[in-house]
Structure 1
Amino acid sequence: MTIALHRLPSAPPVDARALDRLYRAAPSIARAAVEEAADAGRVPEGLRHALQTAIVQFLDPARHPETTALMLFHHLGAAAADHGMPLHDVDTAQQIAIGTAVQRLAEQALRLGVLARPDEAGLLARRAFAYTDRLKDAATAGYNEASHPDPDPAQRRLITLLLRSSPTRLQLKQAADQAGWTPPRTLAAVAFSPGPRRPARHLLPDVLVHPARGCLLVPDPDGPGRGALLHRMLHAIPSALGPTVEPTRAAASLRLARHTLDLVATGVITASGPVPAMEHVPDLMIMNDPETVRRLAERQLAPLAQQPPKKRAVHVQTLRTWFVCGFSTSATAERLHVHAQTVRYRIRRLELLFGPDLYDPGQSLNYMIALHAWTLMSSPDEHGIWQT
């Protein structure tokens, strides 16, 4: 059973009442909240942002992958350790704020008719409990890592420099010398989900690891045997591999790796990790601006909008395969495992629906993007291009 929470107009904010309750239950956070001077990343402000992000992502996981919330709570746990706060206070604050928000969310949903039955409200509560457990695990991992940081601060400074927009070669050489690390000709960034499991670092000793940021920097990723070792290093840890780049472009590799990991978290990409970002470029491009692509798909595939869902799915699968196979009936039939006459019948139906535009070379790319987007965005469990 799926609850259509995306139909709600907005996520309940972490307002003053929720903050007042959590400050009373978490004294150390209350003390930090009234400090006269603190940096921009202090825990109370970070907590408010993390809680609000978690609520938005709980409300609409299809468009807001929970990877971001997990990363925020991982950072939040580390910040609590840095400020000398007990992790219990962070957990208590999280449970109170999200519990308050979910209660109001359920009330709002019942008023709007999104939750039609009492058992759906129970499902919402169970989802909330499971979600807060995952957030707690991420915060605990961040807290533990900050409490027992890596022993080499020079290496942490090197990673921070590499993940800037464009460090100079001189800056990189100086930081690498201090860390005892030889800058490679190429490297690739790996993004991994925060949690209690950490990569088996000993398998690739020249890899730079930053657990608090959920990333690795892997020298010479395309070298002999490196791929197999990387898979063993990240065994059972959700992860994504960015493109191979020069060391000064490590930040760009990490951005694509994190975008890919987000798509893995939401189920858009179903491959097991570490998932190479460059093998999913169409998915990354489409989901980078889903609203624009959604509008393109609705326009290009408008003749299918009134078709029954099952027939629509068959039409999309046939049309997409037909385009990929260069309008070859026999190749399309072979790929779909159906008789060629079945494909001819389906194509005649599609010609009646779409008309001559189907063969317009100027529309071919639009059709391919639209068909791929339909496949990514439409599923029985999520709000796709059309409601089904």
Structure 2
Amino acid sequence: MAAIRAELPAVADDVVEQIIREVPAYEDAFGGPMGEIIRTAVQVALGGFLSLLSDRRGPDELAPQASALDGAYQLGRGEVRSGRTIDALLSAYRIGARVSWQHLSAQAVAQGIEPATMASFAELVFNYIDALSGATVAGHRDESASEGRIRQRMLERLARHLFTGAPEATVLASAERAEWPVPTTLTAVIVPDSQMGSLMQTVRRGTLQVADVPEVEGSAVLLVPDAHGRRREALLRAVRGRGGLAGPARPWLDVRSSYDRALRAYQLGLAGDTEAHLPRLVLTADPDALGDLRRAVLAPLDELRPATAAKLRETLRAWLLHQGRRDEVAAALFVHPQTIRYRMNQLRDLFGDRLEDPDSVLALTIALGVEEMQA
């Protein structure tokens, strides 16, 4: 046992060398103090195993001591903070186990240990290292989950800052803490809660979710980075297929304006692309003002029977949209051109010179435009 224990420094050096050679993630990690720490850890771990073995404990008692397991657990947590993956960590353990056994078995053979004993010895070595690696994996997993929760909270805080229009310095500091790459634009998307998870799988990385928005209860608000230009169509396809609504792309610090437009469209029961609904959004931006405008400019029709007033409004709207081309107006309304001439004479009697005044024509076009969109 003394000869095997004397081999431990060489074992540790060889383990470190082989890990550096075979796992690129550790190429720089073992330089300087870190390399010495790992070498010491290997010696301590194997030394602990040899101590247990020399005490002639049974196989069930050859588990790593609590201090060794705690050290392995903390190693796993530290690997997360160093940015190394679980795959790199397990590769390092496999290499460590292989190299350690090569050295230990060579010494065991030199000491004349019988083959049956060697097989038992091998099982003990690998079980011991498996227990250590299991503790390290648990540390890596727990730290990853903890870091994930912390970063998620940071991203939620960043989304809230953007959503509420916090000062630029506050938003920038929040983005830096969350390690969130600053995009050129952000696009606000409203999507049903049931579709949010699947949409998150298709949108760009770095998409933020704004939690608990009471104005869209039952739906989620996402802030999608750099979905402008040619990338917008891909976003729109994903949104349309999930019953969602996408606002315009805006400079990322001004994403609240994208949400405000999406919210207006959402409140009107629209879906898909807000930019496909701009006329309606403009005309309904101030419902009270639109109502006052309609009452004022359409007042000449007030004294007519409802059915007659409806026909004349329909005719006037078509006349405005087709710029007075009587045949086109007649075709749009499925009536004879003579009928259009008769109705337009009625309208000229009611409205007089207002049908020739640009300001009045603009007001009439706006007043009747909502009916066209709702038709």
Superposition TM-score, scaled by structure 2 size: 0.51
- 1:198 to 2:204 alignment: no
1:370 and 1:257 map into 2 onto residues whose CA distance is 24
Q: What RMSD in Å do the two structures reach over aligned CA positions?
A: 2.9
2:292 and 2:345 map into 1 onto residues whose CA distance is 26
Counterpart contact for 1:167–1:248, Cα < 8 Å: no
Residue number among 268, 280, 291 corresponding to 2:288 in the alignment: 291
Counterpart contact for 2:239–2:272, Cα < 8 Å: no
- Letter in structure 1 aligned against 2:357: D
- 1:218 to 2:224 alignment: yes
Question: What residue is the counterpart of 1:254 in the other structure?
Answer: 259
Q: Deviations over 1:16-75 (max 9, x none)?
A: xxxxxxxxxxxxxxxxxxxxxxxxxxxxxxxxxxxxxxxxxxxxxxxxxxxxxxxxxxxx
Within 5 Å, give how 1:162-201 maps onto structure 2.
Answer: 162-165=162-165, 167-168=167-168, 170-193=169-192, 195-200=193-198, 201=200
Residue number among 303, 315, 340 corresponding to 2:312 in the alignment: 315
**Unmatched segments (≥5 aa) in structure 1:** 1-148, 380-388
Counterpart contact for 2:185–2:227, Cα < 8 Å: yes
Counterpart contact for 1:166–1:249, Cα < 8 Å: no
Counterpart contact for 1:192–1:240, Cα < 8 Å: yes
SS in 2 for 1:242: strand
**Higher Cα radius of gyration:** 2
Q: What is the total number of aligned residue pairs between the two structures? A: 219
1:368 and 1:150 map into 2 onto residues whose CA distance is 55
- Letter in structure 2 aligned against 1:161: H
- 1:356 to 2:317 alignment: no
Question: What residue is the counterpart of 1:240 in the other structure?
Answer: 245
2:190 and 2:150 map into 1 onto residues whose CA distance is 18
More helix by share: 2
1:191 and 1:153 map into 2 onto residues whose CA distance is 21
Counterpart contact for 1:166–1:248, Cα < 8 Å: no
Counterpart contact for 2:163–2:210, Cα < 8 Å: no
Q: 1:151 to 1:340 in 2, by over 3 A?
A: farther
1:221 and 1:338 map into 2 onto residues whose CA distance is 47
Counterpart contact for 1:296–1:366, Cα < 8 Å: yes
What displacement does 1:258 show?
0.4
Question: What residue is the counterpart of 2:136 in the other structure?
Answer: none
Within 5 Å, give how 1:368-379 maps onto structure 2.
Answer: 368-374=365-371
- 1:332 to 2:332 alignment: no
SS in 2 for 1:326: coil
SS in 2 for 1:222: coil
1:167 and 1:324 map into 2 onto residues whose CA distance is 46
Q: Deviations over 1:246-267 (max 9, x none)?
A: 1111111111110111011xxx
- Letter in structure 1 aligned against 2:281: L
Within 5 Å, give how 1:127-166 maps onto structure 2.
Answer: 152-165=152-165
Aligned identity (percent) is: 29
Counterpart contact for 2:189–2:223, Cα < 8 Å: yes
Q: 1:192 to 1:236 in 2, by over 3 A?
A: closer
Counterpart contact for 2:165–2:256, Cα < 8 Å: yes
**Unmatched segments (≥5 aa) in structure 2:** 1-148, 214-219
What displacement does 1:282 show?
3.6
Higher relative contact order (CA 8 A, sep 6+): 1
